[in-house]
């Protein structure tokens, strides 16, 4: 047994965090099914869960992430108070700590100084970085702006008490009151149901959705805006991360209040921020100009094109004439992409807004070149 665990750095284990993550997960897979077996399904408790899950999940994505970490928009105090209370209920520490770690991630992505560096493997990026501390904690000197906010400072001071009350005590109390007033459940069933369903199970689901942004979104998906880092766009991840799955875009334009910028991309967090702005609860919503977005896509397509030209040049000798023709075509596309890049760069620098029709035409042309690139890549492979 000793030999089996000799390589685990027990001296560096964060025992409180690790115990919480493990125990809540075990309860979710054992106690929750047992509850349904003995007490049955209850629609009210499910409704409480359906309120709590998006309330806590979006308090992380809308509040901790886009509002506090990146200052992608401004919010009134009721919105800030809501996301601070329900963000604490996600048990992901305070907004101040969370924002500090996330800013480090963006500054040092894919390096040893990245708190959840994906190059250390899926488990480390997903949750290992929380369970083990391999290096001394660095000071939170990158969130001086947030420390000036009284609400954020208050939450940081009392975050653990707020978390237990909002996440466990309050839903347990709601379950108990529901049971004694409606008689649909016994008081014990109400207490346990409130604790386990909108409490424990919801915490585990929200946490692992957040963890997937740090792990899966750096492993699975496309990189249409940049391949200089591991962040990827994944529509699948966007479904259960409240729209955070478009991570390649986010790493390129982290100050945009949106992650999903295309009309067909699922981003409920973006929609909530926009809707709140209509009631003057949020304002100063920052958006990246369409020209800059398309410029990033075009540059990345051009980079892929350069890679293809290099690959075909390396193949010269076997089918000289065919390869020469292909390289000529690729270089023609590259020249056209250079023209597009120059035009978009000029528009972005001079703050010229190109028409939607013009942008659509350019995007279709870039996508057409990208499709032809994929075809030539298959030829190169074969």
Residue range 112-146, pLDDT digits in tens: 999 999 999 999 999 999 999 877 777 889 999 99
**Confidence band, pLDDT 50/70/90 cuts, at residue 279:** very high
Residue 190 lies inside a defined structural domain of this protein = yes
Of 283, 302, 327, the last residue of a domain is: 283
What's the mean pLDDT in 337-346?
63
The more confident residue out of 3 and 227 is 227
Span 245-256, mean pLDDT?
Answer: 94
Together in a domain, 256 and 307: no
- Looking at the fold, whether 238 and 364 belong to one and the same domain comes out as no
**Which pLDDT band holds residue 184 (cuts at 50, 70, 90)?**
confident
Query: Is 50 domain-assigned?
Result: yes
Q: Which of 42-51, 196-205, 220-229, 322-331 has the lowest mean pLDDT?
A: 322-331
Of the pLDDT bands very low, low, confident and very high (cuts 50, 70, 90), residue 374 is low
Which of the two residues, 326 and 225, has the higher pLDDT score?
Answer: 225
Residues 370 and 310 placed together within one structural domain of the fold:
yes
Average pLDDT over residues 54-68: 97
Residue 225 is assigned to a structural domain of this protein: yes
User: In this predicted model, what pLDDT tens digit does every residue of 158-167 receive, in sequence order?
Assistant: 999 999 999 9
Residues 101, 182, single domain; the answer is yes
Residues 106 and 204 in one domain: yes
Q: Is residue 34 part of a domain?
A: yes
Residues 302, 238 share a domain: no
Please identify, among 225, 256, 283, the residue that sits at the C-terminal boundary of a domain: 283
Tell me: do 232 and 262 sit in the same domain: yes
- pLDDT mean over 250-273: 93
Residue 125 inside a domain? The answer is yes
Any bridge partners for residue 132, and if so which? 13
Question: Could you tell me if residue 42 is inside a domain?
Answer: yes
Q: Are residues 244 and 329 in the same domain?
A: no
| Residue 240, pLDDT score | 86
Mean pLDDT on 175-203: 95
> What does the pLDDT average to over 255-267?
92
301 and 251 within one domain: no
Same domain, 278 and 368: no
Model confidence at 347: pLDDT above 50: yes
pTM of this structure: 0.84
94 in a structural domain: yes
Average pLDDT over the chain, rounded to an integer? 86
Same domain, residue pair 265 and 360: no
What would the mean pLDDT of 96-123 be, rounded to a whole number? 95
Give the residue, 373 or 137, on which the prediction is more confident: 137
Identify whether 2 is part of a domain: no
Q: Domains in the chain: how many in total?
A: 2
One domain, residues 43 and 184 = yes
Confidence at 299, pLDDT banded by 50, 70, 90: confident
Residue 75 has pLDDT above 50, yes or no: yes
Domain that holds residue 235: 10-283
Residue 4: pLDDT band (50, 70, 90) is very low
Using the 3D structure, point to which of 227, 256, 283 is the last residue of a domain: 283
Summarize the confidence of residues 180-189 as an average pLDDT: 92
pLDDT tens for each residue of 300-318: 776 766 666 665 555 555 5
pLDDT of residue 381: 45
pLDDT above 90 (res 345): no
Taking only the tens place, the pLDDT of each residue in 49-58 is 999 999 999 9
């Amino acid at each position: 047994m000793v030999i089996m665990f000799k390589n685990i750095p027990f001296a560096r284990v964060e025992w409180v965090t690790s115990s919480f993550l493990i125990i809540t997960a075990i309860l979710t897979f054992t106690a929750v099914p047992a509850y349904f077996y003995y007490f049955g399904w209850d629609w009210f408790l499910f409704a409480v869960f359906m309120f709590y899950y998006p309330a806590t999940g979006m308090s992380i994505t809308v509040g901790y992430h886009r509002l506090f970490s990146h200052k992608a928009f401004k919010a009134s105090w009721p919105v800030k108070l809501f996301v601070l209370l329900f963000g604490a209920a996600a048990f992901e520490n305070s907004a101040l700590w969370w924002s500090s770690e996330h800013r480090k991630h963006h500054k040092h992505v894919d390096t040893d100084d990245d708190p959840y560096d994906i190059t250390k493997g899926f488990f480390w990026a997903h949750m290992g970085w929380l369970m083990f501390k391999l290096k001394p904690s660095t000071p939170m000197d990158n969130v001086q702006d947030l420390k000036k906010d009284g609400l954020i400072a208050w939450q940081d001071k009392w975050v653990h008490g707020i978390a237990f009350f909002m996440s466990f005590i309050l839903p347990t109390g709601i379950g108990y009151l529901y049971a004694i007033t409606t008689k649909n459940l016994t008081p014990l069933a109400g207490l346990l149901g409130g604790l386990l369903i909108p409490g424990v199970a919801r915490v585990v689901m929200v946490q692992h959705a957040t963890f997937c942004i740090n792990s899966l979104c750096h492993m699975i998906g496309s990189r249409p805006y940049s391949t200089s880092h591991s962040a990827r766009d994944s529509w699948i991840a966007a479904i259960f991360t409240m729209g955070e799955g478009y991570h390649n875009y986010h790493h390129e334009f982290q100050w945009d209040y949106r992650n999903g910028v295309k009309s067909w991309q699922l981003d409920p967090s973006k929609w909530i921020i926009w809707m709140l702005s209509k009631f003057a609860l949020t304002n100063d919503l920052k958006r990246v100009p369409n020209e800059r977005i398309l410029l990033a896509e075009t540059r990345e397509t051009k980079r892929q094109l350069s890679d293809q030209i290099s690959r075909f040049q390396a193949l010269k000798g076997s089918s000289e004439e065919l390869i020469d023709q292909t390289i000529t075509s690729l270089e023609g596309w590259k020249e056209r992409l250079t023209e597009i890049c120059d035009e978009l760069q000029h528009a972005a620098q001079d703050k010229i807004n190109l028409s939607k029709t013009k942008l659509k035409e350019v995007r279709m042309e870039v996508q057409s070149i990208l499709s032809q690139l994929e075809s030539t890549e298959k030829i190169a492979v074969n």
